[in-house]
Structure 1
Amino acid sequence: MQAQSLITTLEKLHKLHRSLYDLSLEKTDSIKKGNTEALNDFIKKEQNHISAINTLENQRQKLAADFLLQRGASAGTPNLSEVIRHADDGDKPELERLKAELLALTVKLREQNELNQKLVYQSLQFVNMNLSMLQPQPEQTNYSRPTENKGQPSQKSMFDSKA
């Protein structure tokens, strides 16, 4: 019975991760188009997903710890591999499948988020380059002999060298 509630929680985690992955794909399109309003909406949606994922993850850990305690195993850090080892033969294939799917999905999600991060960084570099081209550059101050200043009025020094 305990394994079934754990399987249900893992399925919910998988759905939330899948939804978060779909959001990250849509976010990539918005980054490419430069749609900052849509990016703000995606960030809010992602935060809601992450909050729900954290809640479910805490629930999963509690269920896994309870399951392992019922089976007489130590529940120091209740991970899914430990649960699979102590699960009944009927529940093992389902738990292994969910574990593999979650792992594959988190890898895809990490890769997509890295791509989004690189795209945002490149966009920021482009904006900074354009800003630096549009802003006037201060004149370079070179120190040279006063006789070499051709046509430029002499500027007084801030320090009195005779003192």
Structure 2
Amino acid sequence: MSADQLVTVMERLLDLHNSLLEKAYQKTTVIEKGDIEALNTLIKEEQKLLPTINKFEQVRQQVVRNFLTPFHVEEENFTISTCLTYIDDSKKDKLADFREELLEVAQKLQKQNELNSELIKQSLQFVQMSLDMFYPKTPEFNYGPPKQSGPSTSNSLFNRKA
């Protein structure tokens, strides 16, 4: 396997992750506006991207494996970082840049997803609070005897045997 294939796969993975990050940013805007239909559309678009990302991740793993096998590298060291030690200098910088950018995008994506999750949680809390304001729970006042669950065992005058 050539270094060109590694660079191509990493470039494609970076593009896909950037697309996913853009969707995450769009979701933040949509959540803030409260547009549920647009949110559903964005979620569907994300769901279409995920299988493609998984496919390219599997391709990346296979390309790394094929690249490092001739160098007798142990399988647990099949990483892009290990590949960088065996690649010539012309492709090394480009691959290292893609690796760093992909790591940065993954971190940004994680932070953005956490933000979106928190925004949705706050929105649900707001909805619950609004419902509680419109339909408040009325407290039960106990001016009479306590209510009993199950069969009545009261000792009223009508239930006594004479």
TM over 0.5: yes
SS in 2 for 1:76: helix
How far apart, in 1, do the equivalents of 2:68 and 2:2 lie? 10
Shift of 1:87: 1.9
Mapped pair 1:90 → 2:90: yes
1:28-48 deviation per Cα after TM superposition (whole angstroms, max 9, x unaligned) = 110000000000001011111
Task: State the superposition RMSD in angstroms.
Answer: 2.2
Once the two structures are superposed, residues 46-67 of structure 1 have per-residue CA deviations (whole angstroms, 9 ceiling, x without a partner) of 1111111111000000100111
- CA deviation after TM superposition for structure 1 residue 74, in Å: 2.0
Aligned residue pair count: 154
1:9 is displaced (CA, Å) by 0.6
Aligned counterpart, 1:34: 34
- Structure 1 residue 161, shift from structure 2 partner: 4.8
Q: Aligned partner of 2:30: which letter?
A: S
| Structure 1: distance between partners of 2:62 and 2:107 | 24
- Separation in 2 of the partners of 1:159 and 1:133? 39
SS of the aligned residue for 2:76 comes to coil
Q: In the alignment, which residue of structure 2 is the partner of 1:129?
A: 129
Taking structure 1 as reference, are residues 138 and 85 closer, same or farther at Cα in structure 2, changes over 3 Å only? same
Distance change in 2, residues 1:89/1:123 (3 Å): same
- Displacement after TM superposition at 1:77 (Å): 5.2
Distance 1:49 1:28 in 2: 18
Shift in alpha-carbon separation, 1:161–1:85, aligned structure 2, 3 A:
farther
What is the CA distance between 1:141 and its match in structure 2? 5.0
Match among 144, 154, 157 for residue 160 of structure 1 = 154
1:88 shift after superposition? 2.2
1:100 to 1:160, Cα distance in 2 relative to 1, 3 A: same
Structure 1: stretches of 5+ with no match in the other structure: 143-148
What are the Cα deviations for residues 64-103 of structure 1, in whole angstroms up to 9, with x where unaligned? 0111102221233522111112222322111111111101
Structure 1 residue 128, shift from structure 2 partner: 0.9
How high is the TM-score relative to the length of structure 2?
0.85
**Aligned position for 2:100:** 100
User: Sequence identity of aligned pairs in percent?
Assistant: 38
Amino acid at match of 2:26: E
Structure 2 distance, partners of 1:88, 1:155, is 85
